Amino acid sequence: MILDVEGILVSVVVVICAATCFSFSISFVD
């Protein structure tokens, strides 16, 4: 079966962006 590569890539990018923004926010506040 062919996986939805674009969907997976989008999900990965969103997760990485969220994690980066979250870490940046904590570092900025701290």
- In angstroms, rounded to a whole number, what is the distance separating the alpha carbons of residues 27 and 3? 36
Region of residue 4 (phi > 0: left; psi between -120 and 50: alpha; otherwise: beta): beta
Q: pLDDT at position 26, please?
A: 86
What are the pLDDT digits (tens) for 2-16?
A: 678 999 999 999 999
At 15, list the tokens.
């997760």
- In angstroms, rounded to a whole number, what is the distance separating the alpha carbons of residues 27 and 19? 12
Q: What is the mean pLDDT of residues 5-28?
A: 92
Longest dimension (CA), the chain: 46
